[in-house]
Amino acid sequence: MHKAGGNNLCKGPEAGFCLEYRRSWDKEKEAVVAAVTTAIWNKDRTLASEGPVQMVQTLMSHGGDFTFILSPLGALERGLECGRHKVSLRFPQVPPGCCGESRRMTKCHSGGALALVSLWDNPTPGKSKEAEIKRINKELANIRSKFKGDKALDGYSKKKYVCKLLFIFLLGHDIDFGHMEAVNLLSSNKYTEKQIGYLFISVLVNSNSELIRLINNAIKNDLASRNPTFMCLALHCIANVGSREMGEAFAADIPRILVAGDSMDSVKQSAALCLLRLYKASPDLVPMGEWTARVVHLLNDQHMGVVTAAVSLITCLCKKNPDDFKTCISLAVSRLSRIVSSASTDLQDYTYYFVPAPWLSVKLLRLLQCYPPPEDAAVKGRLVECLETVLNKAQEPPKSKKVQHSNAKNAILFETISLIIHYDSEPNLLVRACNQLGQFLQHRETNLRYLALESMCMLASSEFSHEAVKTHIDTVINALKTERDVSVRQRAADLLYAMCDRSNAKQIVSEMLRYLETADYAIREEIVLKVAILAEKYAVDYSWYVDTILNLIRIAGDYVSEEVWYRVLQIVTNRDDVQGYAAKTVFEALQAPACHENMVKVGGYILGEFGNLIAGDPRSSPPVQFSLLHSKFHLCSVATRALLLSTYIKFINLFPETKATIQGVLRAGSQLRNADVELQQRAVEYLTLSSVASTDVLATVLEEMPPFPERESSILAKLKRKKGPGAGSALDDGRRDPSSNDINGGVEPTPSTVSTPSPSADLLGLRAAPPPAAPPAPASAGNLLVDVFSDGPPAQPSLGPTPEQAFLSELEPPAPESPMALLADPAPAADPGPEDIGPPIPEADDLLNKFVCKNNGVLFENQLLQIGVKSEFRQNLGRMYLFYGNKTSVQFQNFSPTVVHPGDLQTQLAVQTKRVAAQVDGGAQVQQVLNIECLRDFLTPPLLSVRFRYGGAPQSLTLKLPVTINKFFQPTEMAAQDFFQRWKQLSLPLQEAQKIFKANHPMDAEVTKAKLLGFGSALLDNVDPNPENFVGAGIIQTKALQVGCLLRLEPNAQAQMYRLTLRTSKEPVSRHLCELLAQQF
C-alpha cells in the first residue's frame, strides 16, 4: 500500500506539493494506514483521520471501495489499489505555481488543516514535552504578533491563525487572545471563515464573556439572512454554548424558524435540536404555547430528519406539559405505522442494514411511553397492529448477518416491549413479549441476555404476564449459576426476586442461597436482602423462615445487615408457635466451632427470651446454654458482649440455678473494671439487680419482651434505599399472589390466635371477639350456598379459618378495645365531605375498571405524582396500601390524601385510614394504609381526594378508589348438579342480569379465565355442556348478609361477541356485577 501510494503521489503538476507531503509521509504513514484501515473495517465512505491502528493485511477479506478525506476543504482524489480494495485518498488541491514558490505546506493555500500539519511538523509525538511546549509558545508568539501588527490580515489569514489557536487549545494549552478575531470571522460571507469563527466561539468563549453581545448580534444577522448554511451554523453555536443569556436572546426566534413554511429541512432539524438544548438548560425560557400545535404537526413532515429531530424535542417537552402535546399520540402512531409496515426499499436514505428508520422508530416508541394507552379505539387498534408487526418481524429470519442489522432490529424490539409493559393493558402482547424475551435468555450475545432479563423483570410485575414469566424459571436459575458476566447474574437474581410467589418461593430462595456461596462480593448484600424479604413474605410455616435466615447468616454473615437479624427477632418474638423451634435451631447453630458474630447476636437474644422452652432437654439445659454462649463472649465485639450480658441477666430470671455462675462472671474484674463504659455499667447494674432485687421484682423487670408494633419492614426499606429513589414503585407494585402474606409490605407480625365466630377470619384486626368455646364442624361449600340462596335469614355457620387464613390472621397485632380503632388517629381532623372536593377526573372510571380484576398496579400517574395500589381482600375485610410517589425534585407541601364516602356509602363500607406526612420530598414515596370492611352491598366506590402544594401552587386530584363489590367475593366450588339446582332457585326476573356485547379485546380463553378468576369467582369445570363456555360461582361477603352469585359467560368467536348472565339473590347486585364484568372483555 505504501509503494502504490508513493508512486501515485509523485505524479502530476502538483509534484512540488506532493514531494513536500512525501517528505512527511514516513512520519504520518501510520496515521494514514490507521485511518484507511479503520475505513475498511467500518465500511464507511468518508472518515476523518481518527480511529485505532489496525493492520491492513488482516482486513483484506473485507470488500468495497472507500474514500479517506485528509482535508475538509478542496480535494484532489488519488486512487490506491490495495489488493481487492480501491482506497481513495483525497488530498488538498494546490493552486498552480504554489509548489514552485515554496515547499512549505503553510504557504500552500490549502486551508487550516495543512497549516496544522505544518505546526506539528517539528515537535512530533515522539519528541519531549518540553520541545512541544517550546514549539507551541513560539507559534503563539507569532500569532500574537500577526494579530497586533500594523498590517491588516485578510479573512483567510485570520481563519488560519484562529484555527491554529483552536488546535493548540485542544492540545491542552490555555488561550487568552484571539477571541475578537474569531468574532470578526462571524461577519465574513465565506462559509469556511464563518465556520472556523463559530467553532472557536463554541469551544473557547465563556457564557459570561464581554463578547456575548457582539456574538449575539452576529448570530441574529445570520438567523435573519435566510441563508440556510449560515442559519445552521448560528443554530449550532447557540446549541453548543447553551447559556441562559443566549436562551433569553433567541428562545422566541427559534420556534418561529422551526415552524416557518419557507425554512429548509436542514434548518428545521437544527432549530429543533437547538430548541431542545435550550429547553434542557432553561425550561422557563422556551414559551411553546402558541407554537405547540405547529411543532406537533412536524411529525407529519415528509423529511425524515425533521421528524426525528421533532420527536426528540416533543418527547422532552411533553414530560412537563403532557396535556399540551397530547395530540402527538395519533400522529406518532400514524408515522410509526408507516415505518413499521414499509419495506427496506421504501426509505432507502433512512434504511440502516435493511431496517427502516430504526432511530426514528425507537424515538417514537419512547414518545408514546410518556402517555397512557390511546383513548381513540381506531388509534389504539392501529398501534396494537404496529406492536404486533414488530413482534412478528422479530420472528423472521434475519436479512443480513451483520451485527448492525441485529442491533437495529433488537433496539426497536426492546423499545416495543417497553411500551407494551408501560401500557399493561394488552394480555396477548404481554405474553408474546415474554415469549420473545425467553428466546433471548439463551442467546449467544451477552448484551441480549442482559436486556432480556431486565425487561422480564418489568413483565413479572404485570398481572397478565407473571405466569408466562414463571415458565422460564429454570433458564433464569441456570443463568444465575453459569453466566460469566456479573451484571447478567445480578439481573438474573433480580428476575428471580420479581417472579417469586407462593408457588415457587422455596425453590427460588434455595437457589439464591446456593448462589450466595459463590456470589460476587459486590452484590452479596443485595442478594441477602432479597432472600430475607422473600423468605418472610412467602413463609408458609415459620420454621422454614427461621432456617433460611440462619442459613443466610452462616453463608454470608458479613453481609447480613442489622435490619435482617432484627427482623427475624421481631417475627420470632411475635409468634408463639415458632419460638421453641427457633430456640432449638439457634442453639444447634451456635455449637459450630466457628460461627459468625451475627449468629451469636441472634442466639443470645432468642435464648435469653425463649431458652426456657428447650431447657427440659439435658443436652440444652440452662448451664449448657450459658456455657455455650459464654464460650463466644471473648471473641465478640463490644456491642455483642453488651447483648450477651443482657442475656445473662435474663438467664438469672429464667433459670435461678445459674445465678451463682452468672454473678461470678459479672463480678469478675474484667467486667467491673472494663475499659468500655457501656460494658462496665451493664455489669455493675446487672450484678446489683440480681443481688438486691426480690424474685418478684426481678421477674417484673426481666419479663418477656412484648410483641413489636406494626411498622414498615426495615429490610424492604433498606433494599429500596440500596436500589435508589426510583425503585420504590418497582419493589412495591409487583404482581403478588393474592394468597401471599404481605408482611414486608407494611405489617409487622404479632401473635394473635384469636378466631371469630363469623365465617370470615379476623384477618385485619378490625374486630375482636373471644374464641368460641366449641366451634361446630365447618359446613361444606354446597350447604353454605343453599343457605345463602334460601329466602330465610342468612346462615352464620362458625367456620374455622383455613390454614392460609389463620396464617394471615396471625400477622396482625392484637385488636384494640374499639373494633375499628386499630388505625384511628388520636385526634383526627374532619375529613372533607363530597361537597368539599371536586368531581373525579374524566378518566377516573377507566382507571377504576383497570382494577376490577386485579389488586396491584399504578392507579394514577402524571408528571408530578404517581399513585400505586397494592391490596388484599379476605371475605368482607380488606387492606389496601396506597403509595404516593413524588416524581419531581421539589417537595410537596400540605400533602393530604383523604377517603370520602359519597351518598350513603358510609353505611355500606367502613374505611379507616392512617394519615401520612404533610411533606413529601422530591423523589420520595410515602405509604398510606387503609383498612376496609364491607358492611352491606354497595354500588358506588369511595373517592380518594389528594391535595397538596407544588411550587407554591395548590394541586388537587379526585379519583375513584378501586374498591368494588366483587372484591369481597368468596370463590365457591360445587358439582354440576348443585350448580343447576341453585341456578333454578334464582329464577326470578329481578335476580338475573344479562348482557350481550361486542368483544373489545382479542378473545383468548386463557386471558378470559384469568380475568374471571381475578374477578373473584371460582371457575367450575365440566358444568356447562359447551366446553367453550365459562361457569363460575361465589359468595359476596358483607357484615350484614351474604349474597350468592352464579355466572355464565358464553363467547362467540365467529361473531366476536359475548353473552354474560349473572344471577344473585339481590337485584342491584346482579346488574352491578354484570356491568363491571362486561367492561373487562
Q: What is the pLDDT of residue 720?
A: 62
Q: How confident is the model at residue 456 (pLDDT cuts 50, 70, 90)?
A: very high
Which spans in 352-426 are helix H? 358-368, 377-395, 403-423
Cell of 51: 480511529
Which spans in 127-211 are helix H? 129-148, 155-170, 179-185, 191-204
How far, in Å, are 550, 798, 977, 1040 from residue 778 at the CA level? 38, 7, 22, 20
Cell of 1049: 359467560
* CA angle centred on 442, ends 437 and 447, rounded to 5°: 75
How many CB atoms neighbour CB 124 within 10 A?
12
Highest mean pLDDT (candidates 241-245, 264-268, 753-757, 872-876):
264-268
What is the rounded CA–CA span in Å between residue 589 and residue 553?
A: 10
Decide if 600 contacts 640 (C-beta within 8 A).
yes
| pTM, two decimal places | 0.58
Q: How confident is the model at residue 987 (pLDDT cuts 50, 70, 90)?
A: confident
Exposure on the CB side of residue 1029, measured as CA atoms within 13 A? 14
Average model confidence (pLDDT) across the chain? 77
Q: What is the pLDDT of residue 90?
A: 42
What is the rounded CA–CA span in Å between residue 237 and residue 802?
A: 72
Residue closest to 680 by CA, chosen among 690, 689, 669 = 669
What is the rounded CA–CA span in Å between residue 652 and residue 698?
A: 9
Q: What is the pLDDT of residue 604?
A: 92
What is the rounded CA–CA span in Å between residue 430 and residue 1010?
A: 14
Q: Which residue do the cell numbers 400540605 mark?
A: 894
Tell me the pairing of strands 865-874 and 877-886: antiparallel
Q: Region 85-104: what's the mean pLDDT?
A: 38
Residue 761 has pLDDT above 60, yes or no: no
How far, in Å, are 36, 236, 305 from residue 47 at the CA level? 8, 21, 21
**Tens-digit pLDDT profile for residues 437-446:** 999 998 989 9
Backbone angles phi, psi at 846, to 5 degrees: -65, -40
Q: How confident is the model at residue 791 (pLDDT cuts 50, 70, 90)?
A: very low
Decide if 627 contacts 661 (C-beta within 8 A).
no
Name the residue with higher pLDDT: 780 or 556.
556
For 392-516, list the strands marked E by DSSP. none
Torsion of CA 796, 800, 802, 803, to 10 degrees: 160
Name the residue with higher pLDDT: 81 or 53.
81
What is the rounded CA–CA span in Å between residue 1049 and residue 394?
A: 35
Exposure on the CB side of residue 475, measured as CA atoms within 13 A? 16
What is the rounded CA–CA span in Å between residue 880 and residue 512?
A: 30
What is the rounded CA–CA span in Å between residue 74 and residue 821?
A: 86
**Percentage of residues in the chain having pLDDT higher than 70:** 76
What is the rounded CA–CA span in Å between residue 685 and residue 645?
A: 11
What is the rounded CA–CA span in Å between residue 1016 and residue 1033?
A: 9
Backbone angles phi, psi at 692, to 5 degrees: -100, -20
What is the rounded CA–CA span in Å between residue 840 and residue 848?
A: 11
**Tens-digit pLDDT profile for residues 988-1021:** 777 888 888 888 888 888 888 888 888 888 888 8
Residue 247 has pLDDT above 80, yes or no: yes
**Tens-digit pLDDT profile for residues 191-242:** 999 999 999 988 887 767 778 888 888 999 999 888 999 999 999 999 988 8
What is the rounded CA–CA span in Å between residue 408 and residue 350?
A: 12
What is the rounded CA–CA span in Å between residue 902 and residue 899?
A: 10
Q: What is the CA radius of gyration of the chain?
A: 38
Residue closest to 516 by CA, chosen among 504, 506, 524 = 524
What is the rounded CA–CA span in Å between residue 757 and residue 724?
A: 46
**Tens-digit pLDDT profile for residues 471-522:** 999 999 999 888 888 899 989 999 999 999 888 999 999 999 998 888 888 8
What is the rounded CA–CA span in Å between residue 708 and residue 535?
A: 19
What is the rounded CA–CA span in Å between residue 492 and residue 511?
A: 11
Residue 883 has pLDDT above 60, yes or no: yes
Residue closest to 35 by CA, chosen among 47, 23, 18 = 47
Q: What is the pLDDT of residue 739?
A: 40
Name the residue with higher pLDDT: 409 or 287.
409
Q: How confident is the model at residue 1079 (pLDDT cuts 50, 70, 90)?
A: confident
What is the rounded CA–CA span in Å between residue 109 and residue 92?
A: 9
Residue 853 has pLDDT above 80, yes or no: yes
H or E segment to which residue 450 belongs: helix 446-459
Q: What is the pLDDT of residue 626?
A: 92
Q: Name which of 65-74, 561-570, 928-937 the model is least confident about.
A: 65-74
SS (H, E, C) 464-482: CCHHHHHCCHHHHHHHHHH
Cell of 472: 422460564
**Tens-digit pLDDT profile for residues 814-828:** 333 333 333 333 333
Across the chain, which distance is largest between two alpha carbons, in Å?
Answer: 119
Question: Amino acid identity of 903?
Answer: G
How many CB atoms neighbour CB 771 within 10 A?
10
Q: What is the pLDDT of residue 716?
A: 65
Decide if 992 contacts 1070 (C-beta within 8 A).
yes
**Tens-digit pLDDT profile for residues 39-76:** 443 433 333 333 333 333 333 333 333 333 333 333 33
Backbone angles phi, psi at 189, to 5 degrees: -95, 0
| Cβ-proximal residues to 1070 (8 Å cutoff; 6+ apart), any chain | 990, 991, 992, 993, 1062, 1063, 1064
